Amino acid sequence: MLIRFVHVIRVKDMMRFYTVLVSESTISEKISPGFRLRGVKNYEYMKDLESSVNCLKQVVIYLFMQNVMNHGMLFDLAKSIIQNMPRGCVDKFEDIYGWTYRDRRDLSEFVDGTENPKVLDERAEVAINKRTGGSYAVVQKWVHNMSLLQETADETKEKWIGRTLKDSFELIRKPNTSHVARMVGSDEFKAKKKHKIVRQAQPFGTLSGGAGLLFIAYAADTRNFDFMLDRMTGDSDDKINDNLMIFSRCVTGNYWYFPGQLEFNFLVHNLPIEILL
């Protein structure tokens, strides 16, 4: 099955698609029992989030297709992959098509990724695990309350986030429940971040069928995600939730591991025979 994916990926790479097949922790262990020996840690968020926000429902396999400028080509690729899967092996699937909104803003109209590392080397430092050469990732599907966002005053929304709406300037005085304060670990102005990630989120959806943010972020260690999720959901020492959840709810998501190129080649050429068939 994986070989079929690799064939499709190689063909589409000539069309400048960036495609990655990743899986959740238990599936990776079945594909390659040596994952742990090579330094890949268990990458599951082990806490029960049901009481606060249902962020991480289990999804087994994810196929990421990025850097795709033509929606029709992306649709054809997704269709080709699904049609070439062995009969009966897919219980259900969901294809989500993201897009760029204005000057890379979220549908809340706040700029997304303001604090992302700007230089490639800095992004690699944050996102790539030095031992394995791969990256851990978190993917979440957030559905926004578009009516609430429309009805709420900009000043109130800025306090929810901790930034100005127009220029994305950090508020000097912001609530400790603001998104910036929760993610950084402090409500102080320009506080040093305790944990960093590289965001690559995209808006999705329609006004009639639901819209929001497909949140994707990478880090060298899952502790970065754990810290931020704990502070979002009130599973931190101060027991405070993130104001982001006033207008958005997380409906599905998971942790993932993206193997580096050498690691991916190793996986493909050392698959158990039952996986290859």
Q: Which two tokens stand for residue 36?
A: 């742990």
In whole angstroms, what is the distance from residue 216 CA to residue 224 CA? 13
In whole angstroms, what is the distance from residue 41 CA to residue 153 CA? 44
Q: Which two tokens stand for residue 181?
A: 């304060």
Q: Which two tokens stand for residue 25?
A: 């922790």
Of 106, 112, 226, 242, which is the active-site residue?
112
Unique residue bearing structure tokens 């997304």: 112
Q: Among the residues of 14-103, which ranges form H helices?
A: 25-31, 71-83
Which SS3 state, helix, strand or coil, does residue 241 take?
A: strand
Q: Among the residues of the chain, which ranges form H helices?
A: 2-13, 25-31, 71-83, 120-127, 146-151, 154-161, 179-184, 223-233, 261-269, 273-276
**Closest to 254 (Cα-Cα) out of 61, 51, 41:** 61
Helix (H) or strand (E) holding 156: helix 154-161
DSSP 8-state secondary structure symbol assigned to residue 47: S
**Closest to 226 (Cα-Cα) out of 138, 116, 140, 127:** 138
In the residue annotation, 76 being an active-site residue is answered as no
Question: Annotated catalytic sites, by residue?
Answer: 112
